[in-house]
């Protein structure tokens, strides 16, 4: 079993665990946790896509490095992962903020609470 396969398997399991959590949990906080697990899994997956057995850090330190380009791991997935982490962070923060509001308006964190009770119409 190569490193790459380990990455793949663990990331896939993380994603599936997250998907399962999103499907089955009723508590919003737990759902958000599951979403984060998915995200972690995806990040791992993306990194694994760029991973190379025995590869080097993709930084051109000297003019010599130009000859070892093939030996470096792919930098693009890492850039993607960075962006994705930022987005994931934003999502989590925003969602948690909404969760607080949700608890205030619904009095519960159950996702299945009815949204439309006793709300007067707004345009």
Partner 1 sequence: MNIMLMLLVVPLITAFLTMAILKHQKTVWTIFLAVSGYLSYALFTMYGKWDLSWSIELGFKMFGKNVVLSLINSPLGWFFAFFASLTTLLIAMFSIAYNDEKHDSKTAPIWLLLIFSNIGIFFAKDWLMFFIMWEAMSTTAYFIIAHGKEISAKAAKFYLSISLIGTSTLLLGIILVSRLSQTFDIGVSIDSLVKLFSTNYSAALLYIGLFITTFLIKSAIFPFYMWPSKAYAESPDDFTPFLSTVMSKYGVYGLILFILPILAKSDLPMFGKISQPAYMLAVLGAITSVLATILAIFQTDMKKLFAYSSVANVGYIVMGLATMSVVGIQGALFHSVNHMIFKTAIFLSLAAVIYRTGERDMHKLGGLVYKMPLTFLVYLLAIISAAGIPPLSGFTSKWLIVQALMAQKMLFVVVAMIFASTGAFMYLLRCLASVFLGQLPDKYKDIKEAPLLMAIPMTILMLLTLAIGVIPGIITKPIDAVLTGMGYNVEPSSWTTVHTALAKSDLNLTYLFYVFMVACVISLIMYLISGKQEKIDQIDNYTAGENPLEWDTTPDRFNFAYGFYQPFKQMFNPMLDLISFERWMSSFGRIVERASSALSLLYTRSEGAILMLYIGIAILIIGGMM
Partner 2 sequence: MNSVLFLIVIPLLGAFLALFGKKANRIVAILITAFTEIFSIMIYLSDKLPVSVAIGGWQAPYGINFVLTPLSVGFIVLINLAAIISLFIIRGEKEYQFYSTYLVLLAAANGIVLTGDIFNFYIFSELTTFAITALIAYPRNRRSTGAAIKYLILASTASSFLLIGIGVVYKTLGTLNIADIASKIDLLNPLTLELIIVLILTGIFVELELFPFNMWVPKAYFAGTASVNVMLHGMLGTAGAYIIARILLTMFAVNGSGMLVNANIANAIIVIAMLTIFVSEIAAFNEKKLKKVLAFSSMGQMGLIIFGFMIGNEQALTGAFYMVVANFLAKIILFVLTGEFIAMTGSDNWEDMKGIGRKHPVAGVSFVIGSLSLMGVPFFAGFWGKLAVIQGAMSGNSFMITGIVIILITAVVEGVYFLKISHTFFLKKEDEKEFNAKARIHSIVIAAALAVIVLAIGVHPGLIENNVNRATNEILNSTSNYVDVVFPGRY
Using CB under 8 A as the criterion, which residues of the chain lie in contact with partner 1 when the complex forms?
19, 22-23, 111-112, 114, 116
Based on the shown chain and the rule CB under 8 A, indicate whether residue 51 belongs to the binding site for partner 2.
no
Nearer to partner 1, 112 or 118 (CB): 112
| Nearest-approach distance from CB 54 to partner 2, in angstroms | 19
Per-residue b or e along 14-43, where b marks 16 or more CB atoms closer than 10 Å to that residue's CB: bbeebeebbeeeeebeebbbbbbbbbbbbb
Based on the shown chain and the rule CB under 8 A, indicate whether residue 119 belongs to the binding site for partner 2.
yes
């Amino acid at each position: 079993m190569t490193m790459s396969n380990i990455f793949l398997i663990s990331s896939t399991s993380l994603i599936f665990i997250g998907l399962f959590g999103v499907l089955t949990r009723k508590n919003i906080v737990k759902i958000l946790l599951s979403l984060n697990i998915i995200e972690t899994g995806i990040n791992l997956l993306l990194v694994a896509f760029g991973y190379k057995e025995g590869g080097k850090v993709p930084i051109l330190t000297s003019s010599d490095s130009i000859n070892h380009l093939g030996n470096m791991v792919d930098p693009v997935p890492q850039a993607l992962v960075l962006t994705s982490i930022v987005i994931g962070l934003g999502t989590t923060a925003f969602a948690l903020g909404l969760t607080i509001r949700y608890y205030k308006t619904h009095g519960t964190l159950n996702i299945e609470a009815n949204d439309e009770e006793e709300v007067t119409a707004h345009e």
